[in-house]
Structures are given as structure tokens and as C-alpha cells.
Amino acid sequence: MSVTPARRAAYDVVRRVFEDDAYADRAFRSASQGLDERDRALAQRLAYGTVQRVRTLDHAIETLGRRPVRKLDAPVLAALRLGAYQLGYLEVAPHAAVNESVELVRAAHLERAVAFTNAVMRRPAGGIRALLDSLPEGPLKHSYPDWIFDVWQRDFGEEDALALMRAQNEPQETVVRLVRGEIDGEPTDIPGAYRVARVDEHALDEGRVWPQSRASQLAALAVGAGEDERVLDSCAAPGGKATMLRGDVTAVELNEARARELEENVRRLGAANVHVVCADATKLPPALEGFDRALVDAPCSGLGVLARRPDLRWRARPLPDLQLALLRAAAERVKPGGALVYAVCTLNVDENEAVVEASGLPVDASLGDEWPQFRHPRRPEFLLTLPHLHGTSGFFIARLKA
């Protein structure tokens, strides 16, 4: 039996993520080259689902297969994880999942492990669904690190913490920002944001649309820049928000490769008002001063975008010190009476409200009145989008006064 192209690509992604610490999206771009649209979609579902559910899958392999995963060769473990994911979460014929896992091990030139893989896979084939159903509600069942559940339970309560875990294990809506022209899509509650069946690659290449969640677009709209204002975007790559801003925009990016990508996206989207500067946003060049407004879309743990980035839950870490440094640095370059928007795609008080409070900057409470449907449930002066309530990525957004 040969391995299908989609499963071979998914296997390559799973191995690269867990053996080479590769990012899932980058590994997938490489592994999926040459696949047709149908195989590409299947490969992505298999790869991302396996990476996302790996904690639960490992528990099932150890419980039913009676083998500690830490003792397994990495290529064998990847094949078992991929097979277990299909058995546990997809409607596939059990024998197909078992046989293809065996063939993946054989293709990895581990003939000595073929019989072992076959034996281990046949145990989950008969009982994995019952095992998964029997797991109590919590981070093991939904495949999250304990610390993420603990943070959400602390900040939102157990019911919402469980709802957040469930929501970010499901595919999110596909939304694009219409840059120019027309679009075959459904308008949303964010001006310019359209819900689509899929991203039109041709329109993307021509700069007519940009894939961007409603919450991400909301963060840029919250800046409220005017045409005659100078605006600083201190963490700008890849450029989705920077290219939404009006006025004379200075887009700062630390990494040279990402700054080049930012420049290319600015050109593609026709944002002639955006100028890219490669610099450290915590130590801005002296010439960058006197701005009317600033956007600090800071690096963060990303706990609001886990549905889109399946490997992030296994590598995420809070960054409150960096976030505070970025916010303070931007505030120093904004004119007295100007405005700053602090935005992070995470759901964690330590990176959200606590950073704003530590900055000591006054809060512009009118933001909650402008977007009442996204008011923070406890702090109405802020915005908070929640995947399980709003159907988009999770963002915290605050508008502050310089």
C-alpha cells in the first residue's frame, strides 16, 4: 500500500514541528508544494489537527498502545500521532489509518519498527473514540498546556475557559479586508471586512484583498488616524494594520527580513502613505518623534490566535516586560494630547490590563462607546474580542492618552 500525497505531506509537517521546532505554517508551505487543491486541504487538516491535538493523542497512544511516547523514535511517534488523529477525530476507515501509518514508518527506512507500529496502531483503532469521550473536561481533553487553562480560568472563570478551548480547536471564519475593487463575500460588523468561502489568491497577488481577521482590523480602526496626522506603527510587520492607517505612517520593524516583507506588502497594497523603518521599537531613532498617534501591536503569547496557529500553544509565552517597554517607548514619541492604541492578540490579564495599568497612561474610555459590541466584559473602557462569543480571533485593545 502506498501513502497518499496528502498524508505524506502532513507527516513531513508533523515531523518538522516536533523534531526541528519548525513553525507549522512554514513547514506546511514547503511540504504542500505540488499538491492539488483537494490534497492540499486534506494535508493541512491532518497536519494542523495532529499538531493541535498532540497532547491528547499522546495520552491515547500511551493508554491504549501501552507505550510511553518519550521512548519512541521520532519518525515512529509522528506516524502514530497522525494515525491516532485520524482515528480519533476524522471519519476514516480504521484500516486505512493503520496501514498508512505503517507505510510511513517503512518509508522512513525503519523496517525494524514496522511490526511494532502495526501492533500499537491496532489498539487505538478499536477504542480511541471511547477514550476521548471519557476524558473529563479540561486541558487534557482539549489538548492545551495546563498553564493556558489556568490563566483563562483565573481571568474568565471555568465555563468561559472551557468554551475558549473548544472554540480555538475549531476552524475560524475566513475574512479578508477589501483594499480596492469588488468582492464576492458577506459584509461583517467591521467596515471593509468581508467573510468569504476562501481567499482569492489572484486578488491577493494583485493587492485587492488582504487576509485579516475582524479583530485585527478592529485594532487598526481603533487608532482613528486622520489624513493630516503623523502616525507611528511600532511593530508593523507583516503590514495588515499599517496599511489600514490613514495619514503619514511610519511603520517600524526590527527584523530585516520581516521589514523587507513589510515593504513588499506595502507596495502590493498600494499604501503609498506608509514608510518602513528597520529599527528596534524599544529604542527608536531620535528622528522619530512628534507623532499625533501611535499603534503598539505588541508581540505576545498569542492566546487569541491559537485556532489559526496550531503549534503556538506549545511554544507560547507571555511577554509583559517587552510589551510595557514598547508602549512606553511609543508614548515618548507621541505629542502631548495625542493618542496611542495598545493591541495584543492574547487573552491574558498579565499582558492586557496589567500592562496598561503599569504604563501609567490615561485611558480614553470613549473606545468602548464606539464599539459597544466588543466592550471588555469587566473593563468597558477597553475592547476584548473573544473567539467563543464573537467568532473571530481574540484581541485586547486599549486607547490611551499621551
What are the residue numbers of the active site?
A: 345
Q: What is the distance, to the nearest Å, from the Cα of residue 213 to the centroid of all Cα atoms in its chain?
A: 10
The 10 Å CB-count burial string (b at 16+, else e) for 187-217 is ebebebbbebeeebeebeeebbbbebbbbbb
Preceding omega of 238 cis (within 30 degrees of 0): yes
**CB contact at 8 A, 252 and 313:** no
Question: Order of strands, edge to edge, in the sheet holding 334-344?
Answer: 274-278, 248-253, 230-233, 291-297, 334-344, 395-401, 383-385
- CB burial of residue 362 (10 Å; 0-12, 13-18, 19+): exposed
Can you list the alpha helix ranges (DSSP code H) found in 32-73? Answer: 37-52, 54-65
Q: Within 10 Å of residue 358's Cβ, how many Cβ atoms?
A: 14
C-alpha cell at 258: 520581516
**CB contact at 8 A, 120 and 61:** yes
Considering only the C-alpha atoms of the chain, give the largest distance between any 2 of them, rounded to a whole number of Å. 71
